[in-house]
Amino acid sequence: MRYLGIDLGDMRTGIALGDAITGIASPVETIRIPIDRNGGEDLLDALVQCINAQLGPPTSGGEIVIGLPLNMDGSEGPRAAYVRLFAERLEKRAQRKVHLHDERLSSVDADQRMARSGLTHGQKKRRRDALAAAAILRSFLAGLDE
């Protein structure tokens, strides 16, 4: 099965695509729409368009994985509650199953990968969110085998 990974951010949302058979997750793009613009509707519309472009129509299968921002002790704060509500809205709008997955240290993973890349600061900033989405998705896919 194919999965689309999402790293929700205040200003940018990273997108990655992965496959459960291979366990590979690759960054796709970064959507630059603030999460709170128009009550989140603009971002929801852009995400549904991206989901359908990457996974095909809802009848073709494919599921969504959204990073859940837990505190380092594993507890949930206000941001995690907001992501849960947003995920419910996206699940209804996209007509696909949405999984929430611990995103702790996904940005650190993205930063470490880029540190070795030789990219400029601007290039790193543009790719960071999609790389974080790929890290979240890789972790989720690895957990499917357990």
3-state secondary structure of 106: helix
Q: pLDDT over 90 for what percent of the chain?
A: 69
Res 112: pLDDT: 61
Looking at the structure of the chain, the number of domains it has is 1
pLDDT one-digit tens code per residue, 81-130: 999 999 999 999 999 999 999 987 655 555 565 566 676 666 656 677 89
Q: Which residue range(s) make up the domain with 75? A: 2-144
Cβ 106 vs Cβ 136: under 8 Å: yes
CB atoms within 10 A of CB 54: 16
pLDDT one-digit tens code per residue, 30-43: 999 999 999 999 99
Residue 18: is its pLDDT beyond 70?
yes
As to burial, measured by CB atoms within 10 angstroms (0-12 exposed, 13-18 middle, 19+ buried), residue 141 is: buried
For residue 43, what is the domain's CATH number?
3.30.420.140
Give the Cα separation of 77 and 70 in Å (integer): 7
pTM for the model stands at 0.88
Give the Cα separation of 17 and 140 in Å (integer): 12
Res 100: pLDDT: 98
| Residue whose entry in the numeric block shows the structure tokens 């996209």 | 94
CA 104 centroid distance within chain: 13
pLDDT, mean over the chain: 89
